[in-house]
Copies of this chain bind each other. A is one copy, B any other.
Amino acid sequence: MSIRIAPTKATRAINLLRAVQNHPPTCPCHSNPSHHHNHRPSLASANASLSPRQLTRRLATPMDHSQQKEYAFEMAASSIRFGPGCTKEVGMDVKNIGAKRVMVVTDGVVNKLTAMKQVREALDAEGVDFQVYTGCRVEPKDSSIKEAIAVAKPYQPDLFLAVGGGSVIDTAKLMNLYTCFPEADFLDFVNAPLGKGLPITKPLKPLIAIPTTAGTGSETTGTAIFDLVSKRAKTGVAHRVLKPTLGICDPLNTRTMPSAVAASSGLDVLCHSLESWTAIPFNERVPRPSNPILRPAYQGANPISDIFSLQALRSTVKYLPRAVHDPDDFEAQSEMLLAATLAGVGFGNAGVHLCHGMSYPISGQNPNYKHSGYEVDYPIIPHGVSVAVTAPAVFKFTAASNPERHLAAAECFGVDVSNVKKESAGEVLSEALAAFLEKLGDQPRGLKALGFGSEHIDDLVEGTMPQKRVLMLAPNLDETNEDVEREQLRGLFEEAMSY
């Protein structure tokens, strides 16, 4: 009683299918990487922004055609619950999952906020046994992560519950990972080349994340970032199994952000969306993984991440200035939390590139800058500030790879691009970004304002070079030739000195 296919059509389809499968390299539908991304540029236009010397080098260093390009993308995200007041439901969630010993992970500041009060009450109401770890460090180091793991291991929780910003959620992810792999060396799962980058071969304990900032998107992603102090580098672990089981996004929890934190968190969202939107497309990434478990979470722009990234960009442009300038604008704050989560789904499946790759040495090699509005007793370039400060330079550089996408991004800032030539896409987006940052207020107008000078550039370049995981997604960056790559990064840092 099932449907039979008309024989002629079936035969035709099957023959076609065979033809496609037997001759993948010649099928225009899936061997041509720009087929589904018809805004992708030709090699000629990708090379347009290179100097003659760079171009000579690029042409002298042909692509490695022995490696096959990627042909699929994967989209995975935490379940997300969004609504004012939904923090209170977490006790029932824990019970519904069947957990009995919960490791609550937070930091000293968040521990005193209403969010944590509600979490305690919710767990108590369900009679769940829990222990609170308040030792997370803002911008965690490997040492702070290891201390946290040492607390989790003997407690043997059957669920982790992170309440805080990205630093807290990332710490909780790593506590979960190394509690589930107690014998592993800390560097085993850390991204290569700084760590061993081993695949994670089994599921972890459930993790529920309750963000209290609107920026990181960590509640939806499988990424955890920290400072590897011995290498003076930011790195991390990135794998889908790290992603939380559930992200509870309660806009009441982000009301406690000071305006400076709202601004820098929001700039992180801005760059997540812009970088994932402009990352090289998934089907230009090489090599194609030999096993789907090896497909990276940061796989390049793809048709699903695109939807999230562009929507998050539009929302950020619309709501971030309102959220920063008016602490009573709950609608804008709420929309920024949603935008952060959407951008998280976007970059969590597509990746970020130059702003993030360059931000790690910028933060780590901070000359002595202390961002206004952050009441800390040490110099700090907040993560969002360090990613946004290079953005005007970065997107001027990447625009030639895909002018249409860069113009579409400029359009999100309200620029009328109808008469803009493709060659000007980078300039136009760069100006739109600079104007946005200036209007937002309290943002350094370039690396100089952070205290960097030309004497720092070598170190900044060397600090960026190991960020392979994100640099491989940077359009226009020549990763096949380290000399060219260094020169390109040097140019970017020079350009980013002031805008």
Task: List chain A positions with a Cβ less than 8 A from chain B.
Answer: 1-6, 9-10, 12-14, 16-18, 20-21, 24, 27, 29-30, 35-36, 70-77, 79-86, 89, 92-93, 96, 98, 107-109, 113-114, 136-138, 201-202, 240, 252, 255-259, 261, 283, 291-293, 302-304, 307-308, 311, 327-328, 330-331, 334-335, 338, 342, 373-378
Q: How far is the CA of A201 from the CA of B97 in the complex (A)?
A: 8
Residues of B within 8 A of A291 (CB): 89, 92, 96
Contact status A1-B84, CB under 8 Å: no
Contact status A13-B83, CB under 8 Å: no
- Of the candidates B74, B202, B327, the one whose C-beta lies within 8 Å of that of A81 is B74
CB within 8 Å for A36 and B334 given contacts A72-B85, A82-B72, A92-B292: yes
Number of copies: 2
Which are the 9 A-B pairs with shortest beta-carbon distances?
Answer: A72-B83, A76-B79, A29-B330, A72-B86, A30-B84, A74-B81, A4-B375, A89-B292, A13-B256
Contact status B258-A5, CB under 8 Å: yes
Complex: chain B residue closest to A1, CB-CB: B137
- Of the candidates B5, B138, B327, B338, the one whose C-beta lies within 8 Å of that of A303 is B338
- Of the candidates B82, B85, B93, the one whose C-beta lies within 8 Å of that of A73 is B82
27 of the cross-chain contacts (CB-CB < 8 Å) are A1-B137, A2-B138, A3-B138, A6-B375, A9-B258, A9-B327, A13-B255, A14-B256, A16-B328, A17-B114, A17-B255, A17-B256, A20-B84, A21-B85, A27-B330, A29-B334, A30-B85, A36-B334, A70-B83, A71-B85, A72-B83, A72-B85, A74-B81, A80-B304, A83-B283, A93-B292, A304-B342
Contact status B256-A10, CB under 8 Å: yes
Residues of B within 8 A of A71 (CB): 83-86
Q: How far is the CA of A328 from the CA of B12 in the complex (A)?
A: 10
Contact status A255-B16, CB under 8 Å: yes
Residues of B within 8 A of A259 (CB): 9
Contact status A74-B84, CB under 8 Å: no
- Of the candidates B137, B202, B375, the one whose C-beta lies within 8 Å of that of A98 is B202
Residues of B within 8 A of A113 (CB): 14
Residues of B within 8 A of A18 (CB): 114
CB within 8 Å for A83 and B79 given contacts A6-B258, A292-B96: no
Residues of B within 8 A of A107 (CB): 2
- Beyond A36-B335, A75-B81, list 6 extra A-B contacts (CB 8 Å): A1-B138, A3-B138, A5-B261, A13-B327, A20-B252, A29-B334
Q: How far is the CA of A82 from the CA of B334 in the complex (A)?
A: 32
- Report the minimum CB–CB distance from A212 to chain B (whole Å): 11
Q: How far is the CA of A341 from the CA of B92 in the complex (A)?
A: 31
CB within 8 Å for A307 and B307 given contacts A79-B74, A259-B9, A376-B3: yes
- Among A3, A17, A74, max chain B CB count under 10 A is at A3
Q: How far is the CA of A73 from the CA of B89 in the complex (A)?
A: 12
Q: How far is the CA of A84 from the CA of B428 in the complex (A)?
A: 36
Q: How far is the CA of A71 from the CA of B250 in the complex (A)?
A: 10
